[in-house]
Structure 1
Amino acid sequence: MSTEDSTSRRRGRRPAGQDTRTALLEASLAVFAEHGYERATVRAIAARADVDAAMVNHWFGGKEGLFAQAVLKLPFSPMELAETLRDGPDEEFGERIARTFLTRWDGAGGNVFQALIRSVAGHEEAATVMREFFGKFFAELIGGLGSDRIELRTTLCASQVVGLGMIRYIARFEPLASAEVETLVAAVAPNLQRYLTGEID
């Protein structure tokens, strides 16, 4: 079968509508998770979605726009997340962070986290999203606890949460990768709580 015939067959199988857009978003998330931004190609994403590569430009204007739509959109609302984290005693803040982080990323299949982390090194926009999330949103939450040295505490919490995510979703070290959420919450929450409100000197 010629390349033209194959392309026509793919176009005929899936209409150039919302289904195509959704298929490209899902496929790009998988490809970015596997290869990161730099190594992911439009051709590979289109093949995974079983559509013509021209549809990437049609719907998203290219790989950059597709990455922004598929990866940089976090699987939660920051406002809703802030309410969840603030809802409870300050001394249990670390526990809420650990549980919320794990349940949200587990619920998204880990792919959004994988794609974002794998792409940080080669894509400045991904790195900016990470810095802004922890540097602004997370720091504001910590500031509400009345703690000092907010910037240091923010980055310490980030190291715990991002490191946990890398081991669970990317490196997949066992038994952590398949451990129950509550097992991990019990293990890491005390560290997070000390970073939030304890002595760090």
Structure 2
Amino acid sequence: MTSVSRRRAGRPPGESRTRERILGAARSLFAEQGFDRTSLRGVAAAAGVDVALVSHYFGSKQRLFAEAAALPVDPAEVVPRVLAGPREEIGRRLIEQVLDILDAPESRQRVVALIRAAASEEGAAQVVRERLAREMLEPVAAALGSSDAPLRAALTNAQIVGLVMSRHILGVEATVAAGREQLAAALAPALQHFLTGPLDRR
């Protein structure tokens, strides 16, 4: 096959750029406004395209959201990094991974959009439950030999979601003003406890 026919067989470059522009606009709006207040028409306006083009590429708002706000990391890659090191420092390694994600604008938009939408959109809630808790945090807790892996993962997940809510959605002044090192130092012991510490069974 010639290079010319290969180019014709694939997606035209302009089409790919348009699709990415729509996704970028969608990520921003879902993160800023949430799922319910974001419309395909609003995404189209922000991307500078006709709303019919948004429907052409993504079909529905649910499908657009699923792609725009997909978890920005692969749990299969994160879990080994969190587990690679001393057991007593796993809380620190986990919060560092979380802060790495939240420090990058595009991945932060995805996470914020997911957390903001999870309260009203079941698809978003399912991603948070399955991808973050079950596929990333439960394997970490299980690898540490815990018989309470689902509970430990749920408690750890609550801390992470709470950080995103407080700092990036509610804009609580103290958490917004806190630097990365301060946040890591404050949250690492809590994550460490939920992953490895004793849980009161009373």
Q: TM-score range by the shorter chain?
A: 0.7 to 0.9
1:46 is aligned to 44
- Identity over aligned residues, as a percent? 41
1:16 deviates by: 5.9
Shift of 1:22: 0.9
Q: Does the Cα contact within 8 Å between 1:86 and 1:93 map onto a contact in 2?
A: yes
Aligned-pair CA distance for 1:178: 3.6
CA contact (8 A) 2:88 2:192 kept: yes
Structure 1 consecutive aligned stretches of length 4 or more whose deviation exceeds 4 Å: none
Alpha carbons 1:85, 1:93 under 8 Å: kept: yes
Q: Identify unmatched segments of 5+ residues in structure 1.
A: 1-14
TM-score by length of 2: 0.86
Alpha-carbon distance in structure 2 between the residues aligned to 1:137 and 1:76? 10
Tell me which of 68, 73, 76 is aligned to 1:76: 73
Matched, 1:88 2:85: yes
Q: Which moved more, 1:107-116 or 1:85-94?
A: 107-116
Cα deviation for residue 34 of structure 1 reads 1.8
Residue 123 (structure 1) aligned to one of 121, 124, 148: 121
| Distance of 1:63 and 1:147 partners within structure 2 | 40
Equivalent residue pairs, number = 186
> Partner of 2:25 in structure 1?
27
Aligned match of 1:150 = 149
- 1:171 aligns with 170
Report whether the alignment pairs 1:102 with 2:99.
Answer: yes
Matched-pair contact (CA < 8 Å) for 1:103–1:181: no
TM-score (norm 1): 0.87
Instruction: For residue 179 of structure 1, report the CA deviation from its aligned partner.
Output: 2.4
- The code of the aligned residue for 1:99 comes to E
What CA distance in whole angstroms lies between the structure 2 residues aligned with 1:44 and 1:189?
39
Query: Which residue of structure 2 lines up, in the alignment, with residue 4 of structure 1?
Result: none
One-letter amino acid matched to 2:76: M
CA deviation profile, 1:39-66 (whole Å, cap 9, x unmatched):
2111100000011101111111122221
Contact 1:75 1:108 in 2 (8 A): no
CA distance in 1, matches of 2:93, 2:143: 15
CA distance in 2, matches of 1:178, 1:135: 31
Are residue 200 (structure 1) and residue 199 (structure 2) matched? yes
Residues in 2 aligned to 1:62 and 1:196: alpha-carbon distance in whole angstroms: 39
Aligned to 1:185: 184
| Cα distance in 1 for residues equivalent to 2:53 and 2:143 | 46
Kept in 1: contact 2:138–2:149 (CA 8 A): yes
**Unpaired stretches in structure 2, ≥5 consecutive residues:** 1-12
Q: Distance in 2 between matches of 1:200 and 1:51?
A: 53
Distance change (3 Å), C-alpha of 1:142 and 1:190: same
> Is the CA contact 2:92–2:192 (under 8 Å) kept in the aligned structure 1?
yes
